[in-house]
Amino acid sequence: MSPNEAIPNEPTAAAGSHPSRRNVLKGVGALGAAAGLGGALLPGAEASAAPAAEPARIKGKEKSMVNVPFEGFDEVRVGIIGLGNRGGDQAMRWAAVSTITAVCDIRPDHVAETISRVMAQGFQDKEPVGYSNGEEDFERLVRRDDIDLIYVATPWEWHHPMAKAAMEHGKHVAIELPIAPHLDDIWDLVRTSERTGKHCMLLENVNYFRPEMQMFNMAKAGLFGELQHASGGYVHDLRWPYTFGGAYYPEHWRRRWQTRMNAAHYPMHGLGPVSACLDINRGDRFDELVAVASRPKALALFREEDPRVGADHPSWDDDPYISGDRKQVFIKTVNDRFIRVEHDVNSPHPYSRETTLTGTRGSLELDNARIYLESLGHTNHAWRTGSAFSAIMNQHDHWIWPALQNLASQYGGHGGGDFISIFRMVQLMRLGMTPDIDVYDSAAWCSVIPLSHESLKGKGFKSVKVPDFTRGHWTQARPTFDRPRPEDPWLDGDGRPRR
């Protein structure tokens, strides 16, 4: 089927049911007229002094998604929107564990290449249908009736309208980071999920990395005692090739966020795993935060001094860079614990997620590969490192890694964590289980972006309340990464899917 052929059993889309892709770009500068934080994200925009209170649930129309399972599927049919650096690479992993029905990108060559690569894997007989007929063609993809899950891997400003469109047309949706960068849009995705009964999930791969899953198991086993504080973030020198190189982000969209808001733009990689350990939204929740930022110096200096950025580079047309090079956000929870979030993609620095966990009986620093446990008799105040550290971590391996390590090695992606996260999401859908990371986790973690921006306005270091996206259900117990290995007909002795 070509992109211009009729869609089978296509329902009529209600006019104005969601913003078009084209109008999103046109409207970005007009966000100052929106309520809440949505209007504070671009230079000159005004916003309310603090996030608005949680909106009341509309009785009979919005229902909590806490502990709501997937329907259960014999096979999961996936549509993919965005086939760039991330989406094109991830498509091969989705194809290994699901059926890809349709793919979409504004570049026809990316669509054709992805279809060819999917078919070359040999897992499905029917080609995915390609959509590349302009910026709004994703709207035709979401209306198909042969898709169960839509995966969104597009520039950040498109995540909200695409995810909302997917849910409004009866699809679950998995979104690359973040689900949305604006608070109003985050709330809209929560409410759309509750209104449609469809799951909206951040595809946070780091939660499935082997060390992070070992850390989770150790926390649940009580090795650290009562958890008191944690840290996590994203410190990654992206200046070249990502920020200025141009090959990874068409039209340099990611760099331009540095001109739009002073915020911790991308905290979820470190924040997600420690939030799971702290039972955020499962007995505790984020209560308030405060942010601090350094001056925005590194990008302009790099542009001026690096010979790879020539006089004709499009960055010279950028608005001034306003996002501080290094941001730290301190989050206090309702139970009086705190998380330190660090974000820096501009400074020369080795990659780090700054992941630490400390309780009444021990501490762990993942990036430094060291652990200190009172139960081991640390009378000399020395960290366990090297082989001693590895031995302790391996004692707490999560079941999913031994079960899938061969496939994780084959399909890769950040050491196999990308494959594990995709396999697990498809597994949960097939078996009719609840998500590991639900819409409320996704909203809370991503809300740090607009809320840190709010805290940094004016003189900065202003305390900002964090909304309760669960609207009262944060004390309710529900499973996450702590579930045992399920009975799954797709897994045989060596952990390979039965296709």
**What are the structural domains of the chain?**
77-202 (3.40.50.720), 206-398+435-465 (3.30.360.10)
CB 201 within 8 A of CB 311: no
User: Cα(179)–Cα(164) distance, rounded to whole angstroms?
Assistant: 10
Question: How would you classify the pairing of strands 172-175 and 149-152?
Answer: parallel
In this predicted structure, what is the pLDDT of residue 381?
83
Residue 80 backbone phi and psi in degrees, to 5? -120, 130
HEC per residue, the chain: CCCCCCCCCCCCCCCCCCCCHHHHHHHHCCHHHCCHHHHHCCCCCCCCCCCCCCCCCCCCCCCCCCCCCCCCCCCCEEEEECCCCCHHHHHHHHHHHCEEEEEECCCHHHHHHHHHHHHHHCCCCCCCEEECCCCCCHHHHHCCCCCCEEEECCCHHHHHHHHHHHHHCCCEEEECCCCCCCHHHHHHHHHHHHHHCCCEEECCHHHHCHHHHHHHHHHHCCCCCCEEEEEEEEECCCHHHHHHHCCCCHHHHHHHHHHCCCCCCCCHHHHHHHHHHCCECCCECEEEEEEEECCCCHHHHHHHHCCCCCCCCHHHHCCCCCCCCCEEEEEEECCCCEEEEEEECCCCCCCECCCEEEECCEEEECCCCEEEEHHHCCCCCCCECHHHHHHHHHCCCCCHHHHHHHHHHHHCCCCCHHHHHHHHHHHHHHCCCCCCCCHHHHHHHHCHHHHHHHHHCCCCCCCEECCCCCCCCCCCCCCCCCCCCCCCCCCCCCCCCCC
Are 149 and 174 in contact by the 8 Å Cβ rule? The answer is yes
Contact 332, 215 (CB under 8 A): no
Residues near 193 by beta carbon (within 8 Å), at least 6 away in sequence: 65, 167, 199, 200, 439
Q: Read off the pTM.
A: 0.90
Dihedral sign of CA atoms 272, 457, 235, 412 in order: positive
Give the pair of three-digit tokens for residue 405. Answer: 């390590």
The C-alpha atoms of residue 362 and residue 354 are separated, in whole angstroms, by: 17
How far is it, in rounded angstroms, from Cα 430 to Cα 419?
Answer: 16
In the chain, which residues have pLDDT < 70?
1-52, 379, 492-499
Residue with tokens 């690096």: 306
Strand partners, 200: 173
419 close to 404: Cβ distance less than 8 angstroms: yes
pLDDT at 16: 38
Say how far apart CA 151 and CA 272 lie, in whole Å: 19
* Residues in CB range of 445: below 8 A, 6 or more apart: 178, 202, 204, 267, 268, 271, 272, 275
Given this model, what pLDDT does residue 413 score? 97
Among candidates 29, 28, 32, which has minimal Cα distance to 155?
Answer: 28
**Encoding tokens for residue 47?**
């916003």
